[in-house]
Amino acid sequence: MSGRWIEVADGVHARRYAELDLTVGLVVGAERCLVVDTRGDLEQGAELAAAVRELTSLPWSVVFTHAHFDHTWGTERFTPCAVWAHEGCRAELTEYAEDARANWIAYYREQGKAETADAIARTTFVVPDHLFTDRTELDLGGRAAVLLHPGRAHTDHDVVVHVPDAGVLFAGDIVENAEHGFSAFSFSSESDLTAWPDTLDTLLALEPRVIVPGHGEPVDADFVRYHRHGLHELIALKAGVGRGETTEAAAVAASRYPGDVTLAALKTP
Ligand SMILES: [Zn+2]
């Protein structure tokens, strides 16, 4: 169940997990470090905290790419520390976390993963206390980490972490590297399919050398461009279904993505 570090640039690390194919991050400066997402429950977060301590003993702060449980519920072990997020993330965690907890406990019990369900039940949610709306910059000591809300996409409060001197961008779930790129989890009632390609353009304009997705292995800009085209196709298919010019089944057949992914995209608001 433990993870695997990938050093994507000097002092910039991605950590990969089999569970949910999750990817979190660590940016190490000369004086401080920044943990990008904390996994999904108190035990997973404790594992991550110990793994960070194998790489650095510097004081840490945390940033959430978005409110979803697998990115935020492992924070307990990291506090007290600054926890950064978009202001919309705080509202999401405050208003919906208890409902989401019940749903995920039920999900993991159904999957026969009682230990994960129990860990989620025992988890204390940490609400972010350092909020911003568009952009803020953290000084890690000789290295900046830029926190940016590049626009609506996977949620209305997505945050990416740009490390300009390393050419690395942590993209959260705006970019996913599942088997076919996006997964059925990429698109939900919180997603904005229409805005998503422009949001990817904002990321590409940063000219990152490495993009670390919220799920899957790190990717490059060409991968992001390919799925930007894919999003335009999904937007056109959704519009065609909306106008009654085509059926969902025909849209699924025409899509570059698997049926479950395409259907999830068609169901976005
Ligand atoms: Zn998510």
CA 186 / ligand 1 centre spacing (Å): 7
**pLDDT tens, residue by residue, 160-210:** 999 999 999 999 999 999 999 999 999 999 999 999 999 999 999 999 999
CATH top class, domain 4-177+191-219: alpha beta
Q: What is the phi/psi pair of residue 226, to 5°?
A: -60, -45
Q: How far is the CA of 11 from the centre of ligand 1 (A)?
A: 25
For ligand 1, the distance from its centroid to the CA atom of residue 245, given in whole angstroms, is 31
Task: Report CA(244)–ligand 1 centroid distance (Å).
Answer: 30
State residue 204's pLDDT score. 98
How many angstroms separate the alpha carbon of residue 82 from the centre of ligand 1?
22
In whole angstroms, how far apart are CA 207 and each of 63, 175, 211, 226? Answer: 22, 15, 10, 15
How many angstroms does the Cα of residue 65 sit away from the middle of ligand 1? 8
Rounded to the nearest whole angstrom, what is the distance from the C-alpha of residue 158 to the centroid of ligand 1? 9
Find the 113 Cα to ligand 1 centroid distance in Å.
20
| C-alpha of residue 142 to centroid of ligand 1, in Å | 31
Cα 187 to ligand 1 centroid, rounded to whole Å? 9
- Please count the other Cβ atoms lying within 10 Å of the Cβ belonging to residue 162: 22
Measured in Å, residue 188 CA sits from the centre of ligand 1 at 9
For the stretch 109-160, pLDDT in tens is 999 999 999 999 999 999 999 999 999 999 999 999 999 999 999 999 999 9
Encoded tokens for 153: 């996409």
Ordered by start, the domain boundaries in the chain are: 4-177+191-219, 221-269
Instruction: Measure the N-to-C terminal CA separation of the chain; round to a whole number of Å.
Output: 35
- Calculated CA dihedral for residues 58, 144, 38, 94, nearest 10 degrees: 120
CA of 41 to the centre of ligand 1 (A): 15
Looking at residues 57-71, what average pLDDT do you find? 97
Residues 6+ apart with CB under 8 A from 48: 3, 15, 24, 35, 38, 39, 74, 77
Report the separation in Å between the CA atom of 251 and the middle of ligand 1, taken as the mean of its atom positions. 24
pTM to 2 decimal places: 0.97
Residue-wise pLDDT tens digits, 209-268: 999 999 999 999 999 999 999 999 999 999 999 999 999 999 999 999 999 999 999 999
Q: How far is the CA of 179 from the centre of ligand 1 (A)?
A: 16
How far does the centroid of ligand 1 lie from the alpha carbon of residue 68, in Å?
5
Question: Within a 13 Å sphere around the CA of 231, how many CA atoms are in the beta-carbon half?
Answer: 27
pLDDT of 1 strictly over 70: no
- The rounded Å distance from CA 154 to ligand 1 centre is 7
Give the helix ranges, DSSP H, for the chain. 42-55, 69-72, 87-110, 114-121, 196-204, 221-242, 248-254, 259-266
Crossing angle (nearest 10°) for helices 221-242 and 196-204 = 170
What residues contact residue 236 under an 8 Å CB cut-off, 6+ apart?
Answer: none
109: CA distance to ligand 1 center in Å? Answer: 21
